Structure 1
Amino acid sequence: MISALFYISFLTNLLVVVNRMRINSLAFLSWLILFFIYAGNIREGFSDLIHYRARYAVGKSSLYFSDHAYNFFADWFSHHSISFQVFLACIFLFSSACFYFVAKKLHCNYNLLILLLSLFYFFYTLEVLRFFLATSVALIAHYYLSQNHRFIFIGLMFIAFLFHGSIIYFLPFIIFYRQKNTSKMLWALVFISMVLIVTNLLVGNNSSYLTKIFELLGSEVTKSRVMYYTAKSTRLGFILYDSYYIFNLLISINLKKIAKTVSNAPQEVTNFINLVYQHSFFSTIFLPLIMFSTAFTRYLIFTVVLNFIAIAALQPFMQQSFIKLKSGLYIIFGVLGATCFWWYLRENVLYFYEALLPNLFN
């Protein structure tokens, strides 16, 4: 039942977007369907979800994770005999509230945003619960940074860090971000990333610079995490991830170009699109890391989500010009097609199809 409702809502939202409409009630119903899919998921094939469920059952998440905020909430829910499905529902509600906060601030087309996030992101997050919580808070942080509230950005990123420590690697973005003109330091970072990629290729992905850099931090936990991530080379498998990154980089470049020609878009929307543009280039630093381990793709996925929000924020202001609207439709269909194709290549199955099958509401 829930599977059929998902496909119906997905196609209906697509028709609404193509016909230049906005139906907020439909977007809410689609979100409600996603809520029941997320909360009702009982599949055990998601590798990390099995571990989350098992550790939640014994109420000892703090023994396995060093992320204090997640441990506090997970153990509190577990100790009060609240089912894991309810815990999943609460995670979804909290993260949805974060998304809604940003979407409302940016006047997003909710139908389009739900459509894009339904492609894979909400289902992918079933594997990365802590990172889902962290990126949801980080999303609000990046919105405030786009409006030049740097101290709020730092504070929210610290809160996000308590849910998942790895989110802290987005914090240096504040050094490179400029609200108006792109920083020369950002282009230098891109150049360094390209050099590291070439270095990795020349030495067969066995560079030791990554572990050397992280060893300077002195934390044994950090060292063990880095050794875990860099224990195996991805060989040429990184090409698939780099290709999707390049596709999304081109999308952010085109969004910025279109935003310059849209006169009726609010300043906060154009500011956010500029942030996404710069964040896409900043994320090149993760490309050489992906050559060590595909676990680093989570950082690129966050950039993709920023792109999704930027598309949904700009689309309502593109409808007064046929040329702009046509460009917008190309972007929307391009993102839909490329994302589905990429995830099919990556997982040999579409994430939403895999996640829909075992559900309490089917």
Structure 2
Amino acid sequence: MISLLFYFMFFVNLFLVVNKKSSKTIASISWVILLFVYGGNIRTGFSDLTYYRQRYYENLNSIIFDDKGYVWLADFFSHKDVSFQVFLAVIFIISSIFIYFIAKKLQCNYNLLILLFSLFYFFYSLEVIRFFIANSIALVAYYWLFHQKRLFFILGMIIAYFFHASIIFLLPFVFFYSIKDGNKKISLLIVVSVFLIVMNLLNGNQSSYLIGLFGPIFNSDSLKERIQFYTGASTRLGFLIYYLYFIFNMVTIYHIRKISYHIENLPLNKLKVVAGVYQQNLYCVIFLPLIMFNVTFFRYIIFTTTLNFVCYAMIFPYLRKSFSKNNNHLVIILSITGFTILWWIMKENVLMFYEALQVNMFN
């Protein structure tokens, strides 16, 4: 039943978007259905959710789940004997509040945003609970950054850090972001990234040279162990597949930016958001050499994808031409479709989430 409702609302939102219409009622109903899907996820077996559930009920300290914000939130509800399924629903509601904040502030088309999120990101969030919260908070932080409130951005990223420490890798973007379209610092970052990619290839795509390169600088055994942990494995040539995601993202935001420049009545603050998201996509180039060692760094490309979705939903209400009459739109649709298809090919096990929903209030 829940699967049918999800698919039905997916196509209803698609119909509205194609016909350039919007309905807050449909968007609200769709979000409620996603809430039940999220809270009804009882997947077991080889899944991060299994460890989240175990940590929730047993209140055990964990190297993996030691983020203070998440631990406090989980323990708060666990000690009150709230079921894990209800806790998942709370996670979704909290994250949704942050997403709704930025969607409302930027006057996004809610139907398009829900449609885009439902392609794959929503299913990704079913597994990565902590990152889902951190990602949602980071979206708001980026909103403040694009409105020239850098201190709010830093504070927002610090809050997100308490839910997933890895989000801190996005914090340096504050030093690279510029309100000017041409950004020499970003260009320098691209050059450094290309250099590191070449170095990785010359060293057989192994990370041992990083220990020798950076170890003496910091003179810390714990830092060496951390570098080894995150870069200890090589993806061989598999990293090329993950580079495709980056390319799809760049194609998407490039054409979003191209469209935005031709919208006469698009407010200046929204043009700045488009420019900022474009720079964030370029900033992700620094993660490409790291993906060669560990595909975990792919999560930053996923975050940037959500920014692209928000950006597209933001400019959508200002568009007049239909999809078929604008080549930029067609390229964006093809790029997002390519990203989605590649995602489901690479993440086949995510399809099991629907199996996890067999036992819930809808059956």
Q: TM-score range by the shorter chain?
A: over 0.9
Aligned to 1:354: 352
| In 2, Cα distance between equivalents of 1:220 and 1:68 | 24
How far 1:126 sits from its partner (Å)?
2.1
| Contact 2:190 2:285 (8 Å CA) reproduced | yes
| Aligned residue number for residue 288 of structure 2 | 287
Task: Determine the structure 2 residue equivalent to 1:130.
Answer: 130
Contact 1:95/1:133 (CA < 8 Å) preserved in 2?
Answer: yes
3-state secondary structure, aligned to 1:235: coil
Cα distance in 2 between the residues matched to 1:96 and 1:323: 29
Structure 1 residues 161 and 83, CA gap change in structure 2 (3 angstroms): same
Q: Figure out how many residues of one structure are paired with residues of the other and give that number.
A: 359
- The alpha carbon displacement at 1:61 in A equals 4.6
**Could you say what the CA RMSD is over the residues aligned between the two structures, in angstroms?**
2.1
Q: CA deviation at 1:336?
A: 4.3
Instruction: After TM superposition, give the deviation of residue 220 of structure 1 in Å.
Output: 6.2
Q: In structure 2, give the amino acid aligned to 1:308.
A: F
**Does structure 1 retain, via aligned residues, the 8 Å contact 2:290–2:297?**
yes
Alignment deviations for residues 192-217 of structure 1 (CA, whole Å, 9 cap, x no partner): 11111122122211133544547855
In structure 2, C-alpha distance between the alignment counterparts of 1:149 and 1:249, rounded to whole Å: 25
CA distance in structure 2 between the partners assigned to 1:325 and 1:39 by the alignment: 41
1:318 and 1:325 in contact (8 A); partners too: no
State the alpha-carbon separation in 1 of the partners of residues 187 and 44 from structure 2.
43
1:148 matched residue in structure 2: 148
Q: Is the CA contact (8 Å cut-off) linking 2:251 and 2:335 kept in structure 1? A: no
1:157-189 Cα shifts (integer Å, max 9, x gaps): 111111111111111101110112332011010
Shift of residue 317, structure 1, vs aligned partner: 0.8
Q: Deviations over 1:56-106 (max 9, x none)?
A: 110225665331111111111111111111111111001111000001111
Classify 1:195/1:202 alpha carbon distance in 2 versus 1 (closer, same or farther; 3 Å): same
Give 1:259's aligned amino acid: S
State yes or no: 1:98 paired with 2:98.
yes
Superposed, which structure 2 residues align to 1:305-320 within 5 Å?
A: 305-319=306-320
Question: Separation in 2 of the partners of 1:328 and 1:284?
Answer: 23
CA shift for structure 1 position 290? 0.4
Q: TM-score, normalization: structure 1?
A: 0.93
Q: Which residue of 1 aligns with 2:202?
A: 202
Whether contact under 8 Å (2:248, 2:336) holds in the other structure is: no
Secondary structure at 1:261's aligned position in 2?
A: coil
**TM-score of the pair, normalised by structure 2:** 0.93
CA 1:136–1:322: 2 relative to 1, 3 Å:
closer
* Kept after mapping to 2: 8 A contact 1:262/1:317: yes
Q: Please say if residues 130 and 164 of structure 1, whose CA atoms lie closer than 8 Å, have aligned partners that are also in contact.
A: yes
Q: CA deviation at 1:357?
A: 2.2
Between 1:200-209 and 1:179-188, the stretch displaced more is 200-209
Equivalent residue number for residue 263 of structure 2 = 262
Inter-CA distance 79–240: structure 2 relative to 1 (3 Å threshold): same
Percent identity, please. Answer: 46
Change (3 A) 1:316 1:62: same
In structure 2, relative to structure 1, the CA distance for the partners of 1:300 and 1:128 (3 Å cut) is same
1:296–1:57 CA distance, 2 compared to 1 (3 A):
same
Q: Deviations over 1:240-278 (max 9, x none)?
A: 110121111111111111111111112222111111100
Equivalent-residue separation in structure 2 for 1:323 and 1:72 (angstroms): 46
Return the letter of the residue paired with 1:121: Y
The structure-2 alpha-carbon separation of the partners of 1:151 and 1:228, relative to structure 1 and needing over 3 Å to count, comes to same
After TM superposition, the structure 1 = structure 2 runs for residues 169-318 of structure 1, keeping only pairs within 5 Å, are 169-211=169-211, 212-213=213-214, 223-318=224-319
Distance 1:114 1:46, change over 3 A: farther
Q: Following the alignment from structure 1 to structure 2, what is the Cα–Cα distance between the partners of residues 63 and 293?
A: 18
For 1:250 and 1:127, the matched residues in 2 are separated by: 27
Q: Deviations over 1:268-296 (max 9, x none)?
A: 22111111100000000000100001111
Structure 2 counterpart SS, 1:190: helix
Partners of 1:330 and 1:219 lie apart in 2 by 51
Q: Say which is worse superposed, 25-34 or 121-130, in terms of deviation.
A: 121-130
Structure 1: which 5+ runs fail to align? Answer: none
Question: For 1:86 and 1:95, how far apart are their aligned partners in 2?
Answer: 14
